[in-house]
Chain A
């Protein structure tokens, strides 16, 4: 094989290894270093360019909502268990099972409405353009709604 070709290919391979190696190492380190503690909302401040006052109001809203959210999740889990219990004993969708399914769905709808209300409240604290962007993003991620 041509000596020059071997040298050039070797140099290229070394270059690729150097670039990819430093890229991977830097990416990993940066991801670990920048990682936020659980529950932190700093990313929200950065992403939607919020000032400290807006951030404090959102943080309070967020904490209040989380306690509501926990209660709602417990309620949904309880309703799911009721549906499971009825379906385990029944061989068909009888009126009781139908009622339990309806209850579960009503509970879900209620929770989704509260979640949407939280998103709307948060977006109102933000500057209008950022608020609109936040709301669109949240609706798309949670309910699969297409951007307005």
Chain B
């Protein structure tokens, strides 16, 4: 069993964190560098940045922000939102990203995914799949694109398998139904994709309690758990999640004693 990663996700707009980070005292909760430092010091195994506006101008802002963040912390950074081409991926990597998550563009352009895997390595490429219930699909989950606005009619597990076949490194399924509800991850979706692809899966969308995180691993077969509002609003800390997982026999990296570059 791999060591399970706990990943806070920062939703970004115009280079600022949209939601504040409340679990530590911050002078400016909307400053992504401060937020990343706080999460890193709090034991984050990785930090995800999601550009929720994802226009071309904002992407440039996002890459500038990423540079500053990569300067300030030395844990892996995953960046997503509006990534459409190999040159977008290259810009993200040059700004300090370790992994790049692709969503709608992966659905529309599988040749680009294949090229990206060849050019940047399997482990660099994460496929983010937004899904919602649809009983007409064999797995009862349908892929949505364009930030969840466009239904595709495509079975989510089938799509994940196709992406695995192209050699991508990880899948990040997010449930449209549970995202932001704090009612728990879509365990059916997470497990179906984890089992069908054999790839590391990051459970996302819906975390609200310690048991949600535990279930994502034990029942959802996830290798990593991602939370946004649950951490932003200080409902739980990363340390609490890790302690809970550890208590139930899940291997986690206990706090590393600070991982900010400036703290060394």
A interacts with B = no
| B binding-site residues for A, Cβ under 8 Å | none
| A binding-site residues for B, Cβ under 8 Å | none
